[in-house]
Chains A and B, each alone.
Chain A
């Protein structure tokens, strides 16, 4: 009796979660349908008709209508280029804040904290004006500039570096290694997990970013996927072609979906480790 009850208790949440998850999936499933089923069949036909009329035409058309390969390249360049720079800046700054004493530390700490609380999105207007003065509009460096210093990453690394035993550092120091060498050879190898966590968060955030790139970029050579998709959606010429929009949406989203499916656990942990400490 109790065993059965326990089993019921065990399964019910799973069933509830599964149902809830299924409902949660409906928009995604509907997108799949719009992309693979011609719009007229989707609107007037039954599921059986849908299955019979599956096609890839919308993808071919979307791929042709908008220069998605170029948009992919742009997104990859700006997202991963930025990440490479950030990994350097956050490691250095995090290390200084974690392991060094110097005058003005509190003030500098506070400056980082300010960035944490004032997200770049709020400062689009003045930052845009700064880019105009620097002549960095429509460039990759313009896209990256506001994010090169990352308070979030710096704090994450500071936290991680603080947990490295003092003996390790001292051993290296007594051997005559300088700070850069200590950081590179002692600290970074043991803080791969937070580095990876930061990378995953940074990639997801910037891959998905829209407003800043929309304002900064104006040419096909710099525009990322998100902006390309939004322009496709807004374009009144194809406002009626749901299948095209569905395909465009999937073209942008599928890499992320695949990534999540593959590294689900890692992804979860990244977001967790990033947030909680």
Chain B
């Protein structure tokens, strides 16, 4: 299918080339031209990836007084580490990311196994899981706002109908963060499942055929056969899951604004609060640097892992 297309355009290329010999001098060398090709990307990488990292480290050592920036050394870091609210935020974030990681991997794999079965006959059933991936988080959160609403929401209607006690979902200290988490999982589980689905489909058929729904045999196979086979995917999913959950913030805006009393405040929302609502750029920068440290450590691990994998392949 692709072969004729390429040869066709290839001929076109020859015609073009004959017409413009002057360019060949400039564009044929391998060295300089490579930089030219990379230039647009490099400019924006420098401006919006490299520079902000440097600049946020600089601002993390400063604080605003009136309209000017004053050097304060490590004060912002001390404050972030000692303030009970930022401690709570860090605790929330670690919990959110860890549980997110575990559930993304386990839930994603199980859903993928299920989808892999259903898939062969009726792809239609995948729609719900795909649809949520593609929906804007803001819409998703608005949807869940109805469900969680204490007096008129669906969840409490159901609980009440079953004669169970109702909950004050998003306004409860214990439930607010899990409430946000459920929204996130509802939206993203299908995404993680997709990666596992791809991994499963690249496995030999007979590995899976017998594996499904055989009681204990299923769990055995899952643990001893499937799990090791999909481990590269697991590593990948885990990385994506951590990155994803660290970036989650849209639903906080719509659902809880970090409340009650910071019970559902996460690091990125904290950066927003401090940096954009209260103009504590120093504090916000210090928290950002902590986030960067985590991400870059992960990057290093990833790099080492890739390196090793490349060697094996």
Contact = CB atoms under 8 A, between A and B. Distances in A.
Note whether A and B contact each other (Cβ less than 8 A).
Answer: yes
Q: How large is the interface on A (under 10, 10 to 19, 20 to 34, 35 or more residues)?
A: 35 or more
Contacts of A63: none
Nearest to A252: B139
B45 interface: yes
Nearest to B255: A233
Given A21-B127, A117-B299, A123-B53, A249 B40 contact: no
Does more than half of chain B's interface fall in helix, strand or loop, or is it mixed?
helix
Contact of B24 (A129, A154, A178): A178
A123 B275 CA distance: 11
A204 interface: yes
A252 B130 CA distance: 17
Contact of A25 (B5, B17, B128): B128
Given A13-B117, A34-B146, A189-B5, A130 B40 contact: no
Contacts of B2: 190
A275 B48 contact: no
Contact of B143 (A27, A173, A210): A27
Interface string A195-224: 000000000100110110011000000000
B49 A121 contact: no
Given A17-B114, A208-B137, A265-B123, A271 B147 contact: no
Interface residues of B, number: 110
Q: What 10 A-B pairs come out closest when comparing CB atoms?
A: A185-B13, A13-B117, A178-B27, A126-B52, A177-B17, A117-B299, A149-B44, A208-B136, A17-B118, A96-B37
28 contacts: A18-B118, A20-B111, A24-B128, A43-B152, A93-B40, A97-B38, A101-B34, A123-B48, A124-B271, A124-B275, A125-B288, A127-B52, A128-B276, A149-B48, A179-B27, A185-B10, A186-B13, A190-B5, A208-B135, A210-B138, A214-B253, A215-B276, A234-B254, A249-B139, A249-B143, A264-B126, A276-B233, A276-B236
Given A249-B139, A256-B131, 10 more contacts: A90-B41, A111-B42, A116-B299, A123-B288, A149-B40, A175-B17, A210-B253, A215-B276, A233-B142, A234-B254
